[in-house]
Amino acid sequence: MKIEETKLNGVLIIQPDVFNDERGYFFESYSDRKFLENKLYLDFVQDNVSFSKYGTIRGLHYQVGENAQGKLCQVLSGKVLDVAVDIRFGSPAFGEHVAVELSAENHRQIWIPPGFAHGFSVLSDTAVFHYKCTAFYSKKDERSILYNDSDINIDWKINAVAVSEKDLMGVPFKDIEKDFLFSD
């Protein structure tokens, strides 16, 4: 397993070891042992899977308080652009984002800890997106930032956009609460 740091402190790109042969491939999508060896102490409590069509944008979501979630994301089928936005007030990277292509072919994963908003756009005809969470879903603690906020200025790399009514009601980035404070 290879781990690559991003410009957002704490957000990591993970490349699992993939074993290919004439039959196909095999890889461990998660191994507690390997994560611990890399000083990633995670406690997952819920797995989620979504199926989406080209042009779908899901996000930008996060949860606050005791239900703040870390997410380990990967694509099981298709291709997405996965995005994390730093929402930690006082962070040198506050308001910045990273975008990484995740696909069934590249097997990459992204670790997004609490303190970051998360979203993705579907770049292929369809995609099956899987993510492990460190806290249970909590409707009362769920927050959403408007996906097309000009202060964040994310290029979702798609032409047609399909967004849920709930995501269209996301707040502008400048109006988010100080739910996360940066600490070294």
Residue 3, CA distances (Å) to 68, 98, 109, 132, 183 in order: 23, 15, 10, 17, 22
Q: Any catalytic annotation for residue 61?
A: yes
Residues 81, 107: Cα–Cα separation, whole Å: 13
**Do you know the residue count of the chain?**
184
**Two structure tokens written together for 107:** 């097997």
61, 97, 107, 118: the active-site residue: 61
Q: Is 118 in the active site? A: no
The Cα 98–Cα 182 span in angstroms is 17
Both structure tokens of 89? 């007030």
Exactly one of 62, 97, 131, 147 is catalytic; name it.
131
Active site residues: 61, 131
